[in-house]
Amino acid sequence: MYRLSACLLTVLALCGFRSVPPAPDGPVALSLVDRDTGEELEQYPHRGERWVAGTPGHRYAVRLRNLTGERVLAVLSVDGVNAISGETAAPDQAGYVLEPWQDSEITGWRKSAAEVAQFVFTDHGDSYASRTGRPRNVGVVGIAVFREARPVYVAPAPMPRRPAPVIAQDARADRAMAAEASAARGEARQQLGTGHGEREGSASHATRFERASRMPVQLGELRYGARPRLVAMGILPRQRVDAAPRAFPGGFVPDPPARGR
């Protein structure tokens, strides 16, 4: 059975407010990249969740790193919406197939076999999910990862120096496995969402992928919000404002330091 696949043309601790790298808690590492600055957004742990600070108006990409020597399928949810089909996200839907050790950036909502609409940090009400009547899960990016079924043993591929930047889409649709995952934060508090930005090229081709199980081997979430919200939640420290210079700080004129000889 053939599946849809896509090739992106783009190149790619609360304590101490310490950022952490993407958690290797499964086959795929999940992170966000600010495409306007080229930087991977720092992740901050908070009450069992991971957060990044997004900048309104900036384009971003979802970065997926396959940490294994085998192909895996990652179903991508952005604000509770499947980034390929536009359906309310569920693990049994279409996803991206990552080649062994592949590092890929998903830059937008898939519009066709040739184009995506860019992911853009925007106001909550202007997010794609809100505009399509699904504001409940705005502010979270998630993946459901599946291993590939193999009829015979195949040795894992060795790690290449430069993984090929190819991503595939899987169009498999088994019966629904579960309703939507844990509820996201309340709409009134979440001010940032993912908009439906300008279109850009993203060529595609077909591939074959069969899931090894009906249950994902990894469910990962990464929450995002505007910096002021993360500061208010205690995830990021408040920025210290240096006192402005004063014309009359008080006191009498002291002698200057002795000149060095």
| Beta carbons of 139 and 192 less than 8 angstroms apart | yes
| Beta carbons of 170 and 95 less than 8 angstroms apart | yes
pLDDT of residue 177: 33
Q: What is each CA distance from 43 to 151, 202, 235, in whole angstroms?
A: 38, 27, 10
Per the listing, tokens 């396959």 go with 66
Q: Which of 16-20, 71-75, 165-169 has the highest mean pLDDT?
A: 71-75
pLDDT at 125 over 80: yes
Identify the weakest region by mean pLDDT among 134-148, 164-178, 188-202: 164-178
* Strand boundaries in the chain, DSSP class E: 3-6, 28-34, 39-40, 44-46, 49-54, 59-66, 72-78, 81-82, 95-98, 103-106, 108-110, 115-123, 140-147, 167-170, 192-201, 204-207, 218-226
Q: Cβ neighbours of residue 241 under 8 Å, at least 6 residues apart?
A: none
Per the listing, tokens 């995002």 go with 224
pLDDT of residue 246: 74
Distance of CA 132 to the CA centre of its chain: 21
pLDDT (tens digit per residue) in 197-246: 999 998 766 688 999 999 999 999 999 999 999 999 999 987 665 667 77
Q: What proportion of the chain, given as a percentage, has pLDDT over 90?
A: 60
pLDDT of residue 80: 97
pLDDT of residue 210: 93
pTM strictly above 0.85: no
Q: Which of 41-45, 184-188, 204-208 has the highest mean pLDDT?
A: 41-45
pLDDT of residue 128: 97
pLDDT of residue 16: 42
| Beta carbons of 82 and 36 less than 8 angstroms apart | no
What residues does each domain of the chain span?
3-149+163-174+224-232
pLDDT of residue 62: 97
